[in-house]
Amino acid sequence: MNKKIILRDDEMPKQWYNVTPDIPNGLLPPLDPETKQPMGPEKLGAVFPMGLLEQEMSSERFIDIPEEVQEILKIWRPSPLVRATNLEKALGTKAKIFFKNEGVSPVGSHKANSAVAQAYYNKREGVKRLTTETGAGQWGSALSFATSKFGIECKVYMVRVSFDQKPYRKSMMNTYGAEIVASPSPDTNTGRRILAQYPDTPGSLGIAISEALEDAATRDDTKYALGSVLNHVVLHQSIIGLESKKQMEIAGAYPDVIIGCCGGGSNFAGMACPWIPDYLEGKKIKFVGVEPASCPSLTMGKLAYDFGDVAQTTPLLYMYTLGHDFIPPGIHAGGLRYHGMSPIVSAMVRENIIEPIKVHQLECFEAGVLFAKTEGIIPAPETCHAIRGAIIEATKDLNDPKTILFNFSGHGLIDMASYDKFYAGELHNYDYPEEEIAKSMANLPKI
């Protein structure tokens, strides 16, 4: 058998799959943060283009991928499906392990899939400039890449601590022509207010979101882009699962278990959703969402309406959350540090379709190093969580010839500093204590 299952450009899916009409008991709508009433496209239109809002609310199962978007995706897509034969051997398991390699994108992760689509719809509606926030830098570099393809300006509010510690991400965004500023910045009211009060703050994703939103809301030529959580992002990521279905068929295999890491939820949902119709028709598939024990929104959070940011400026989303003022501990190296979770993933956890598990970071880095030594590719810290999930499944019973499919969301070449911290013994496991979570949960908005 071939180690890699590849598809030609002309075999790339021409439609995205929208899981929302297939979710048992459906999704609850986003609420206006002021009125607490369902929020329609008219108000959201201040920061998002209509093309994306239509997708956000759509109940169509399949939505055409515009040709211009297809053309750019073909720079790296379809991505390879790989049989992790060397990892299987090292584990001594009879399980077959497949992974979908999203690390082949120009920016090294799946984030580019949605960035290209978002840049396209903004361009189509005459938007001249996009703002966004970035923490680890994956999304910021993906949007910088995508906007460069459509001739849109891009301003990235990058969390100060990342801005200082991840110079390569900054250089990538520079190369694609984006403007990058450390957040909090002197460029927004929110930023100025926080800088006046805490001049030495390392910043946070919550602050950066607020700055990017304020920038977009106050300029007519500018809209805002988000890299995960929302339905339209999950829709764009469905291309991962759609390609995987074709490729698994070519491999003559069918997954018993599908695994992904969960931060905002888009990479896991992108892989998992296209398999949901099979599941609903009776196929036995176990979906496992792997989250860090230090930020356990699915395993220890609550399904409730909550804000997407600390500043309480976003619409209220119905999702698993640890509370919008939850601050994940700094000892955790990877991404996946978001207090909430995609409403789509949340609903599928509620319906017991997805089984969430939490893992500790040291076991994840160990899994990542084993993967690098066996399959050759160094995974991003986030992706190490998915690999750890796959190893757990593959070693439960070494004689069980089950088929495991996981999403390799990105490579780690631009995040080697995390590995250095791991080697230096500077990373530690952390279980978020229930009483701490209870505190941030107490501040959930009253609906």
**354 burial type by CB count under 10 A (0-12 exposed, 13-18 middle, 19+ buried):** buried
Residue 176 touching its own copies (CB under 8 A)? yes
CB of 115 to its own copies, least distance (A): 11
Instruction: Pick the binder of its own copies from 280, 416, 438, 447 (CB under 8 A).
Output: 416
Cα distance between residue 300 and residue 359, in whole Å:
13
Query: Residue 42, class by beta-carbon neighbours within 10 Å (0-12 exposed, 13-18 middle, 19+ buried)?
Result: exposed
Give the residue, chosen from 404, 414, 437, 444, that forms a contact with its own copies under the rule CB under 8 A: 414
Binding mask 133-172 for its own copies (x = CB under 8 A): ------------x--xx-----------------xx--xx
For its own copies, which is the closer residue by CB, 28 or 369? 369
Q: Which residue has the tokens 């510690």?
A: 165
- Contact call for residue 394 and its own copies (CB under 8 A): no
- The single residue among 254, 363, 417, 436 that binds its own copies, judged by CB under 8 A, is 417
CB of 413 to its own copies, least distance (A): 5
Bond into 13 cis (ω within 30): no
Q: Is 108 in the site for its own copies (CB under 8 A)?
A: yes
Nearer to its own copies among residue 86 and residue 201 (C-beta): 86
Among 33, 39, 54, 76, binds its own copies (CB under 8 A): 76
CB of 439 to its own copies, least distance (A): 37
Element (H, E) at 304: strand 302-306
- By DSSP bridging, strand 81-83 and strand 4-5 are antiparallel
Q: If binding is defined by CB under 8 A, does position 90 make contact with its own copies?
A: no
291 and 389 Cβ atoms separated by less than 8 Å:
no
Of 135, 139, 200, which is closest to residue 162 (Cα–Cα)?
135
Residues near 192 by beta carbon (within 8 Å), at least 6 away in sequence: 184, 186
Structure tokens at 183: 């957040």
Identified binder of its own copies from the candidate list 97, 378, 384, 427, rule CB under 8 A: 378
The least CB distance from residue 370 to its own copies, in Å, is 10
Element (H, E) at 53: helix 50-57
The CA-based dihedral angle spanning residues 208, 291, 352, 407, taken in that order and rounded to the nearest 10 degrees = 90
d(CA 333, CA 323): 21
Min dist CB 118 to its own copies, Å, is 16
Q: What one-character DSSP code corresponds to residue 66?
A: P
Q: Of 10-69, which residues contact its own copies (CB under 8 A)?
A: 10
Asked if residue 74 binds its own copies (CB under 8 A), the reply is: yes
Binding residues vs its own copies (CB under 8 A):
2-4, 6, 8-10, 71-72, 74-76, 82, 86, 104, 106, 108, 145, 148-149, 167-168, 171-172, 174-177, 369, 372-373, 375-378, 413-414, 416-417, 419-420, 423
